[in-house]
Amino acid sequence: MVTIYVGPERKGFFIHKKLLCESAQFFKGAFTRGFEEAHKGEIVMLEDSPGAFSLYVNWIYRSTLPTGNTEEHLHNLYDLYIFADKLCLVELKDKTMDSIQDMAKKYDLGDELITVDLVSKVLLNTRSKWEGLRRFLIRHMLFVYTSRYLDDNEEDLTSENEYDSESSEYEFGDVATTYVMRRDVKKVYEIAINCNDFRFLDMFIKRLIFASKAEGPRDVEDVRYRGIMVGRCSFHCHGKEVDCRAVSGASDSFLRKSDMNKA
């Protein structure tokens, strides 16, 4: 057995060395090449998430990811994706992406998936290639933001409504108009500034243009659903020769941290 201490509080995980080394080249190298970790039988990973590492341990022993219905579990899945990206574990990244989509679909999650903190964390801690979770976030933001505007517009709310003064049309040359709220565009810009990642803003605008020209705001894809329109591997990072999908999980209702504190 070896011990992995994770997070600032150094939470300890005791794992069979053979299984851990087989799970990733990072651990195999640390425990088999004469490094200090090999002699001590332990590794300290202060910058990683204990919640995500707990999911990783489950993956090592059972080759599956547990389901959950809490905000904490959702955040742990994001951290697990970042951890898998760090260790170059493509299969785990894809399974984690499946879990995020399945959870989002089951509990009808919208803004919960694209908070400034979560999106910024992904942009700052994953590689810059626009695939997987990065691509999913852009597409989901577009779906949520256009849906919000359309819902508001169809309800014919008065000018006293908080959204009315924020509503705006964004036109790009001869491309058809796509509708989004000013506050939502501001959020995208804020993320780009905070992360110093203006490619993120550029990718979002390109998707807006594509949606306007090819689909129209009423037909923007809901990427939480994998099917004919949104391929089951659309947000995976594996090679084209692989075609896979995780089994979706289940559980009653999504619980936010505020709900848990009230219990």
Tell me the domains of the chain and their CATH numbers: 1-109 (3.30.710.10), 111-237 (no CATH)
* DSSP one-letter string for 40-66: HTEEEETTS-HHHHHHHHHHHHHSS--
Q: Using CA atoms, how far apart are residues 212 and 205, in angstroms rounded to an integer?
A: 11
Q: Using CA atoms, how far apart are residues 13 and 3, in angstroms rounded to an integer?
A: 6
Helices (H), 126-212: 132-154, 182-195, 198-210
Do the beta carbons of residue 19 and residue 1 sit within 8 Å? no
What are 220-255's pLDDT values in tens digits?
889 998 765 566 788 998 887 776 654 444 445 566
104-to-10, 92, 111, 163, 260 alpha-carbon distances in Å: 31, 18, 10, 25, 19
Q: What is the pLDDT of residue 252?
A: 52
Q: What is the CA 118 to chain-centroid distance, rounded?
A: 8
How many of the other CB atoms lie within 10 Å of CB of 256? Answer: 13
Q: Using CA atoms, how far apart are residues 8 and 144, in angstroms rounded to an integer?
A: 35
**pTM (2 decimals)?**
0.83
What are 12-70's pLDDT values in tens digits?
999 999 999 999 999 999 888 767 777 889 999 999 999 999 999 999 999 999 999 99
What are 106-122's pLDDT values in tens digits?
999 999 999 999 999 99
What are 129-139's pLDDT values in tens digits?
889 999 999 99
- Amino acid identity for residue 133 in this structure: L
Do the beta carbons of residue 113 and residue 100 sit within 8 Å? yes
Q: Using CA atoms, how far apart are residues 259 and 236, in angstroms rounded to an integer?
A: 32
Element (H, E) at 44: strand 42-45
